[in-house]
A = this chain, B = another copy of it.
Amino acid sequence: MNIPNRPATIADVARQAGVSIATVSRVLNGTTRVIPETAERVQDAIRALNYVPRTAARVLASRRTNTLGLLLPEISGAFFSSMLRGIEAAARGAGFDLLIHTTGEPRHALPHARLPLGEHNTDGLLAFTASLENEEITRLYSIGLPLVLMHQTFTGCEIPTITIENKSGAAHIVAHLIEAHGRRRIVFLRGPESHEDSAWRERGYCEALETHGLQVDPALISLGGFQRETAQAAIQDLLARDVAFDAVFSGDDEAALGVLTALQAAGVAVPQEVSVVGFDDIPFAPFLSPPLTTVRAPIEQVGSEAVKQLVRLIRGERADLLTLLPTEMVIRNSCGCT
């Protein structure tokens, strides 16, 4: 193996193959027909010199980055890894690289700090939940940067959005609690405030109650934050204040963990005394005790679908403005079924 001091450039290849750099570029990109014999010589030279085109030079010259940006509020949990899996596979399938950035919590500290991802280094952006401020969405949209939102809607601009059937999923599982298990005082734990999924799930919860002639009792609605600890504290608080309830719809599966922990610590039998259900169907749901009844969200598919729409946008094709993926109730034991 030769150890060139400086890696080969397109000029080296051209020289070695006895052609111009334009021709090398053409066989590299297949933009124009090249006599097969010449192309062969170029390919040989490429192999011989171990030539790899410099991405930056290509990007600069072609004004296309071939890169997708992914913006997330945070990286954690099983939810995230499913989504990334879908995104990464789809992006690669479409020939794009993936640049990832988490916006983190203290975003408001630097309100106008420039995002490290944007029009200058990506062909398009995927934004999950509240990772992008409205103002920034508007700006990016106005300069024509392709944008796709996941689990978040934005009115005013025509931005493709991928989300899931939160409301009906939630309504189904709450209805199940009422119909199959006769529960009447069902706690709902909200997710983070900015989280649209949570708002829709709450709406589904309310609708299911009303459909069955039950009042929505504000005392039964509390903050779970889609987090184990927050949910645990919420249930402990309810217990401490002697609020009566016979079921908990925990907002998501992560929060269900906290709910189960709090209930078990308090000696409340699940599901005999209190039913517990979640949302998402993360991989561990079947392994909780009791195995968690929940709503399956096609998370990986959200990721791949988002990439699909974004790529369409980048190619100047029409994209679907709203993709609503179906959810499905998964009955296990924590609701009371056996």
Chain B residue at smallest Cβ distance from A95: B116
Chain B: minimal CB distance from A260 (Å): 7
In the complex, A249→B154 CA distance in Å? 50
Between A4, A75, A76, A97, the greatest number of chain B beta carbons within 10 A of the residue's beta carbon is seen for: A75
**Chain B residues within 8 Å of A119, by CB:** 7, 52
Q: Please tell me if A151 contacts chain B, counting CB pairs below 8 Å.
A: no
B81 touches A77 (CB 8 A): yes
B78 touches A257 (CB 8 A): no
Copies in the complex: 2
Selected from B76, B97, B143, the residue in CB contact (under 8 A) with A81 is B76
**Chain B residues within 8 Å of A76, by CB:** 81, 85
Chain B residue at smallest Cβ distance from A282: B284
B59 touches A56 (CB 8 A): yes
In the complex, A84→B119 CA distance in Å? 25
Residues 124-168 of chain A, each 1 if its beta carbon lies under 8 Å from chain B, else 0: 000000000000001100110000000000000000000000000
In the complex, A85→B1 CA distance in Å? 37
B102 touches A88 (CB 8 A): yes
**Chain B residues within 8 Å of A81, by CB:** 75-78, 80-81, 84
Q: List 24 A-B contacts (CB under 8 A).
A: A1-B142, A3-B142, A3-B143, A7-B120, A52-B118, A54-B120, A55-B121, A57-B60, A75-B84, A75-B85, A76-B85, A77-B81, A78-B78, A78-B81, A81-B81, A81-B84, A88-B101, A97-B99, A97-B101, A97-B116, A260-B287, A284-B284, A287-B287, A289-B289
Footprint of B on A, CB under 8 Å?
1, 3-4, 7, 52-57, 59-60, 65, 74-78, 80-81, 84-85, 88-89, 92, 97-102, 114, 116, 118-121, 138-139, 142-143, 257, 260-261, 283-284, 287-289
- 17 new A-B contacts at CB < 8 Å, known A54-B120, A56-B56, A98-B100: A3-B143, A7-B120, A52-B118, A53-B120, A55-B56, A55-B65, A55-B121, A57-B60, A75-B81, A75-B85, A76-B85, A77-B283, A78-B78, A88-B101, A97-B121, A98-B99, A98-B101
